[in-house]
Amino acid sequence: MSEEISALKVKELRESTGAGMMDCKRALQERGGDFDKAVLWLREKGIAKAAKRVGREAKEGLVEAYIHLAGRIGVLVELNSETDFVAKNEMFKAFAHDLTLQIAAMKPSWIGPEDVPADILETEREIIRKQAMAEGKPPAVVDRIVTGRLDKFYEERCLLRQPSIKENERRVGDILADLRARIGENMGIRRFVRFEVGGETVMAESKTPAVGAE
């Protein structure tokens, strides 16, 4: 694996399990970069509370609403937890509110990279590849350029990959992973809808909402 792909896998593993960055890196190294085996390794080691709960269903939670700019923009987001008790937690509710602000301001199209439709992803990949070749990039580095620019695409269009408007140095997915670890319960963003007067209505739903594996 290249360092770039490895870093991406480490972040995805951290978002899925709530384990620390170094633990996730070690898990991937121990299991030859295999994501599922790395998850199992973390669970077997009991490294993080949230890691033990990856398979637990998150069917409780709340729906948070936000109206912005004199009623011109509206957002609804469903944030799930395992228990109703956690759904009433102030940190949980504050994060749900922050998500509505994020969606209102940054206009994501999907929740996580795995939610991007395959045809859209392939089209984007081909556009980037042709751009790199038109720029005269050597064929040997085109794949790395595609990977890097796709990561930028995810940062712009996927909620979990976006830099937080509240904590600019951190991604939304990293904040969610930290919240899982602090509360000690699995949680995930199930879906959201963003309305804008005279504009497009965006609806997004996670492919893996029940286990919060964003």
Out of 32, 54, 76, pick the residue that ends a domain. 54
If you average pLDDT over every residue of the chain, what do you get?
83
Angle among Cα 169, 172, 175 to the nearest 5 degrees reads 80
Out of 101, 133, 152, pick the residue that ends a domain. 152
Instruction: Report the CATH number at residue 183.
Output: 3.30.479.20
pLDDT, one tens digit per residue, over 130-151 is 888 888 888 778 888 888 888 8
Instruction: Report the CATH number at residue 30.
Output: 1.10.8.10
pLDDT value at residue 25:
82
- pLDDT confidence band for 111 (50 / 70 / 90): very high
pLDDT value at residue 5:
38
Beta bridge partners of 74: 67, 195
Query: Is 213 in the same domain as 169?
Result: yes
Query: Is 42 in the same domain as 140?
Result: no
Taking the whole predicted model, whether its pTM rises above 0.75 is answered as: no
Provide the percentage of residues in the chain whose pLDDT is more than 90: 41
Q: How many distinct structural domains can be found in the chain?
A: 3
pLDDT, one tens digit per residue, over 58-91 is 778 999 999 987 899 999 999 999 888 888 899 9
Angle among Cα 172, 129, 140 to the nearest 5 degrees reads 105
Rounded CA-CA distance 187/37 in Å is: 21
What range defines the domain where residue 186 resides? 57-113+158-214
- pLDDT confidence band for 212 (50 / 70 / 90): very low
Query: Is 104 in the same domain as 162?
Result: yes
